[in-house]
Structure 1
């Protein structure tokens, strides 16, 4: 088997001098087959759309988990990559991403340590915080000499203010969010 990286278990079309052959099982299965021309068209179309509307793209990398595709998206002008887990964040950074959105809450010390390692490499990371306990845990972990989380976000609207449903849980989250020290 030929892999771009055994850890990532994804093949790239430019891995070796000889072309990879799906029918010869040169790559990990299951595999998606992409038409290069169609992919380039879609990348260019989506970036042009984003530019016309004044938005930045952070395509979701979870679906493909293909570093080569991350590189193509970034080269086409994507602002960063959206991932679901710290491991996926590590793969995206290894593929060249410097800006990430972690679409799920960051929980667990091992995951936080992995994110701290990425932050120490200069990665800009946005995380989702939707519970006061998570805000408190992140604040405690990322204070005391560890690199601070680059950015955090809750629910926001265009004016930039935190907007949550009016209930006790939301009030506790808003209060915790405002008082984060390490995050």
Structure 2
């Protein structure tokens, strides 16, 4: 092989490696953003707990307002005995409830979507993000991020969660353009 051919071959190898790295970076950025934006069940935000949450906030605000008046404070700076309102309503959630099942069900795969469903929870999204890093493809392959839970459509398109009122995938897709521009 001539020196010229060897140089071209070396350039082609480096170019493919760079393209593969950029495709992986963009894929990881997009997929991890979708996972981070996915709502995690928060019983305080549930409609069934709205009255209790609002009441608890009002009690907290009432006690804070009392602290603003020095006449209500003892020598140590605490509210005087009998001034503080000690009341609240319980936030209701199923026994043993832990949010994060939707995040745990983001599955990354190459070539075909992985539509498996798990009962696992991943409140931080760390496990799902590690799955993306381990399973996503590079240049020349098609990577999928799929969540097959039946309420995913409600979260994405119907403002079913105050944590992601505009969805996760559509917002992340809109953001990725600026990320790609930064890579140039």
- TM-score higher than 0.5 here? no
| TM-score tier (shorter) | under 0.3
**Greater strand fraction, Structure 1 or Structure 2:** 1
Q: TM-score, normalised by structure 2?
A: 0.22
Larger radius of gyration between Structure 1 and Structure 2? 2
TM-score for both structures, normalised by structure 1: 0.22
| Greater RCO, CA 8 A, separation 6+ | 2
